[in-house]
């Protein structure tokens, strides 16, 4: 299974890499290299601070959701689990950071996986919903009405609606028929109970949703400043739209951290609208490096200074 997964990832990597090369086939290095060399390192430092702030906000959001079923949790342990999950997601296939967070909290806080997994599921749901909301909102601000209505039309087509309703009916029926068996399986019973308790806390749910939106807007601002550091005056609304679009593409990619998918989707948009696909690729790679650096710094500080 692992061998097949590696082969699939290798094939995708070659395909995506070929796509990036094709998009950048007309790159004028004589114009691009000076832009990189003339980067504003002051703004780069600000983006690094914003990247670190994003990590703290991710940890804070999960901490808020965990409060629905668990109390007395040390925030530094939530931060450790969040850092580890982000590192795993950016280096491993798929979303291995999701179960990793649950098992880390079991090790650090003694919390059952069945109590932490629902909060992680809700967290991922809020992230995807927030990204879609912001992508559509900024697309409308940019006047991309035809694209938005086309997407909504495809999503709400009769065929897709029937498939969604049929799928929901099958899942609901299966859960109803298996309700007694689920109650007899301790793990599933605890998991559904924790999920129910979390969803019952409307204040916690709304606060976590607000943190998701704020964190994404915060992240988009970092992307905007990074483009400014590369002397590219691109509207914040377009950067926010492209960031939301490429992040969604990366989330659903089987590649480690959406590697390549993020770069390719963003390069495509910036080449199509501003003819600076190569600058978008450079910007995305720099943002990745800043995130890795921020993860390392926060981990060291958390393990030394803040643990005393």
Per-residue tens of pLDDT for the chain, all 308 residues? 455 545 554 554 455 455 544 444 454 545 556 666 677 888 889 999 999 999 999 999 988 888 877 767 888 888 888 888 888 777 655 566 777 888 888 888 887 777 787 788 888 888 888 998 998 889 888 887 665 555 555 544 555 455 555 655 655 565 555 555 555 555 555 556 656 666 677 788 889 889 999 999 999 999 999 988 888 889 999 999 988 888 887 777 666 555 566 777 787 788 888 888 778 878 888 888 888 888 888 888 877 765 55
Let me know if residue 17 belongs to a domain: no
Let me know if residue 184 belongs to a domain: yes
| Exposure string over 21-48, b if 16+ CB within 10 A, otherwise e | eebeeebeeeebeeeeeeeeeebeebbb
Q: How far is CA 257 from CA 25, 120, 224, in A?
A: 25, 17, 21
**Structure confidence at residue 77 (pLDDT):** 87
**Structure confidence at residue 175 (pLDDT):** 53
Neighbours of 206 (CB within 10 A): 10
Q: What does the alpha-carbon distance between residue 43 and residue 262 come to, in Å, rounded to a whole number? A: 22
The three-state secondary structure class of 214 is helix
The domain in which residue 221 lies consists of 30-303
Let me know if residue 287 belongs to a domain: yes
Let me know if residue 109 belongs to a domain: yes
Element (H, E) at 276: none
Phi and psi, residue 241, nearest 5°: -60, -50
Tell me if 207 sits within 8 A of 64, measured CB to CB.
yes
Tell me if 56 sits within 8 A of 68, measured CB to CB.
no
Let me know if residue 39 belongs to a domain: yes
Q: Count how many domains the chain has.
A: 1
Let me know if residue 25 belongs to a domain: no
Tell me if 274 sits within 8 A of 267, measured CB to CB.
no
Let me know if residue 16 belongs to a domain: no
Phi and psi, residue 233, nearest 5°: -90, 80
Please name the residue that has the structure tokens 């982000």: 86
Instruction: Provide the whole-model pTM.
Output: 0.75
Q: How far is CA 224 from CA 228, 233, 284, in A?
A: 6, 9, 11
Let me know if residue 18 belongs to a domain: no
Structure tokens at 268: 């495509």
* Alpha-helical runs (H) found in the chain: 2-23, 29-37, 41-66, 75-91, 97-109, 113-141, 145-155, 158-177, 179-184, 186-200, 202-229, 236-251, 261-274, 277-303
Q: What does the alpha-carbon distance between residue 141 and residue 246 come to, in Å, rounded to a whole number? A: 18
């Amino acid at each position: 299974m692992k061998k097949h997964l590696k082969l699939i990832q290798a094939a995708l990597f070659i395909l995506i890499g070929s796509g990036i090369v094709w998009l950048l086939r007309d790159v004028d290095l004589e114009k691009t290299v000076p832009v990189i060399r003339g980067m504003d390192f002051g703004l780069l430092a600000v983006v690094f601070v914003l990247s670190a702030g994003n990590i703290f906000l991710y940890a804070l959001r999960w901490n808020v959701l965990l409060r629905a079923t668990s109390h007395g949790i040390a925030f530094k342990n939530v931060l450790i689990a969040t850092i580890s999950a982000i590192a795993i997601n950016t280096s491993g296939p798929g979303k291995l950071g999701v179960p990793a967070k649950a098992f880390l909290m079991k090790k650090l806080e003694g919390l059952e996986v069945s109590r932490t997994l629902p909060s992680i599921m809700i967290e991922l749901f809020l992230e995807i919903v927030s990204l879609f909301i912001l992508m559509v909102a900024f697309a409308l601000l940019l006047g991309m009405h035809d694209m938005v209505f086309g997407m909504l039309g495809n999503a709400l087509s009769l065929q897709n609606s029937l498939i969604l309703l049929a799928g929901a009916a099958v899942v609901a029926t299966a859960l109803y028929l298996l309700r007694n068996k689920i109650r007899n399986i301790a793990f599933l019973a605890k998991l559904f109970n924790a999920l129910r308790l979390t969803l019952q806390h409307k204040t916690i749910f709304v606060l976590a949703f607000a943190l998701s939106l704020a964190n994404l807007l915060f992240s988009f601002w970092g992307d905007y400043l990074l483009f400014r550091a590369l002397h590219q005056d691109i509207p914040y609304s377009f950067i926010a739209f492209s960031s939301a679009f490429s992040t969604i593409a990366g989330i659903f990619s089987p590649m480690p951290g959406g590697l390549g998918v993020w770069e390719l989707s963003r390069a495509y948009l910036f080449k199509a609208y501003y003819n600076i696909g190569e600058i978008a690729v450079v910007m995305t790679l720099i943002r990745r490096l800043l995130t890795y650096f921020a993860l390392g710094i926060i981990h060291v500080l958390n393990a030394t200074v803040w643990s005393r």
